Chains A and B, each alone.
Chain A
Amino acid sequence: MKWQKLGKIFTPTDYRFPNNCHEFAQSPQALVLDDRIRIYFSIREKDASGKYLSHIAFVDYDKTMQHVLKTSDHQVIPLGALGTFDEHGIFPINPVRDGNRILAYTTGWNRRVSVSVDTSIGLAISHDNGHSFQKLGNGPVMTASLREPFLVADAFVSIINNTYHMWYIYGSHWKKFDEHSQPDRVYKIAYAHSPDGINWQRDGVAIIPDRIDADECQALPTIFHRNNKFHMYFCYRHAFGFRHQSSHAYRIGYAWSDDMKHWHRDDDLAGIDISPDGWDAQMQCYPHVFEVEGTIYMLYNGNEFGRYGFGLAKLEDCDN
């Protein structure tokens, strides 16, 4: 694979967003509309306690991805009620066209006492081309289960032959790496399928082999089909030291599959890596691949998990 980097294309602080949201434009994900590309992302406000709340916002680009048409000035999806799974943030969402409606698989965040957070996957539906979404319920569609004890998140859904396929992550364990630090979380990519997008079958098995070690964290799978193969991009990092040490920070990984179930990891084929300097020199994370009129693009975040925005790359060559 060979990607041409088009640079950072969106800086959230250049715009005004509701809820006193300011920094971060994380996990950009595209919905291709007739006359525009709508890119959803998570932007943050600080609450009274000084902790962050992530909200969903969007920016519309023309179909060349060169010009911003507008940014959202409303609450795209409200956060959840007291004590619900998405009370303290939605990050990210995955927009999926399903007939006349747009589904959004959300990752809802709720704060805990011993560990900092837990997450679950929710579902919201739009009937106005993704301008706003209504939740299907106050609870999640996928949460912790016997073999996935916490941190179920990062859904990416494709509807193929009337079956809903989901790639997502689940938490496998929390581990203390340093006597002065709180335990850190470890999570892996898994697969689920569903006849209706609501009731999911899953077995809690990691489908992407680790490259770093058993404590490798894998996140945000995105899948596309090309040359009779399924291609998955995702990000991965060390479980500890990933915030401040570039060598331990997120990188973009790659795997391919013939059947969507068995995946062959080969990061050397990814065709995209950190830059020698600049906005994506310390880390690359949260990749999202989409297609516009035959061109395949990848959105992703760079340094500091997307605090200063997201960038774009274009697939030049797909010879795998």
Chain B
Amino acid sequence: MFHWKKLGQIFDPGMFGNQHYLKEFSQSPSALEFSDYVRVYFCARPARTPDGQYESHVAFVDLEKSNLTKILRISDHIVFPLGEYGTFDEFGTHPISVIRHEDEIRIYYCGISRCESVPYNTSLGVAISHDNGDTFTRIGKGPILSHSLDEPMIQGSPRIRHYNGKWYLWYIAGKEWVKTETRLEPVYKLRMAWSDNGIDWTKHGQDLLPDKLGIHECHASPDVTYHNGIYHMFFSYRGIHNYKSKTGGYQIGYARSTDLFHWHRNDVMAGITTSDSGWDADMVSYPHILRLNDKTYLFYQGNGMGQTGFGLAELTNPEIWGE
């Protein structure tokens, strides 16, 4: 079992209400090491638009390398705009996954469009930075990964990795919309795809994880990290009822693989759960691993799926990577 020492909430959106793009929520932290700091890209929501809905933008915060709980600066801008009228990312860019590749930085993101019969649909897009991560440009108006025969809706929650010269993308794929007592809820599962260039993808076409909470269990944020011949995945999961509260809220699960394709789920291993009180007492979700100077950190969201921002934990038994 992984043992984590919680370092607390490190970014509270309420403290940065003077940013035009940020009023509530800072979600999907995705960290990237720079020479002098660690930059964490995240998804921010400004105040609701007049129709009562949220949009979601990507911004960043820079953390001190020797003390990741210390914020050096927050971006005064979003790093790329929402998509134009009628495109897949017109109403939001969330969640995200950031990767450095040669002299560019890429953000893989979930673009959100709004529908009439259901609240939304999503597909995955890519934006690239050539100015060391300050601003990004989408590489096309459309998505790089979208609906297909057995993935009829909702491609989201991307995690991009580059292993052995190939690109790998873990993501969620929607199965169906289910009517609960109060609203429509999508059911989605973890899937993966691979690519030679990170743009043209071949889908694997299988759900990666067995369900634990029944057929309506939803999986998200499949954060994969490699160590000593093993691929480790931290992810979040929940049911479709009361998941915005402690009762049914997100938890963090774990799976491992030796070949990237076959995953053995063993949630007990994850070793991180809700606190007794405070910003992450109701739920923990959206795990993201950062390895820095022989240390392993876990970024994650707390209550309200990131309404209270994100926090950090540090691995206290690093020898577990070798087991």
A residues in contact (CB < 8 Å) with B:
80-85, 87-88, 110-115, 118, 120, 123, 136-141, 143-150, 171, 174, 183, 185, 198
Contacts and interface: CB of A to CB of B under 8 A. Distances in A.
A84 B143 contact: no
Nearest to A150: B86
A83 B134 CA distance: 36
Contacts of A123: 149
B86 A112 contact: yes
7 contacts: A83-B117, A85-B153, A113-B116, A138-B149, A138-B150, A138-B152, A146-B143
B46 interface: no
B144 A149 contact: no
B54 to A, nearest CB: 14
Nearest to A182: B85
Given A81-B176, A82-B177, A137 B149 contact: yes
Given A82-B176, A120-B147, A144-B123, A114 B90 contact: yes
B87 A149 contact: yes
Contact of A146 (B116, B117, B144, B176): B144
A171 B116 CA distance: 20
Contacts of A118: 86, 113
A140 B118 contact: no
Nearest to B138: A146
Given A85-B153, A113-B116, A146-B140, 11 more contacts: A83-B121, A110-B115, A111-B117, A112-B113, A115-B85, A120-B147, A138-B176, A140-B147, A144-B146, A171-B86, A183-B86
Contacts of A136: 149
A146 B153 contact: no
Contacts of A143: 146-148
Interface residues of B, number: 36
Interface in B124-171: 139-144, 146-153
B129 to A, nearest CB: 18
Given A83-B121, A147-B142, A198 B149 contact: yes
B186 to A, nearest CB: 7
A85 B142 CA distance: 16
A268 B190 CA distance: 54
Nearest to B145: A145
B88 A144 contact: yes
Contacts of A146: 139-144, 199
B86 A82 contact: no
A88 B90 CA distance: 21
B184 interface: yes
A137 B173 CA distance: 14
Given A84-B152, A137-B150, A139-B151, A112 B143 contact: no
Contacts of B117: 82-83, 87-88, 110-111
A120 B149 CA distance: 11
A85 B115 CA distance: 11
A182 B240 CA distance: 36
B87 A150 contact: yes
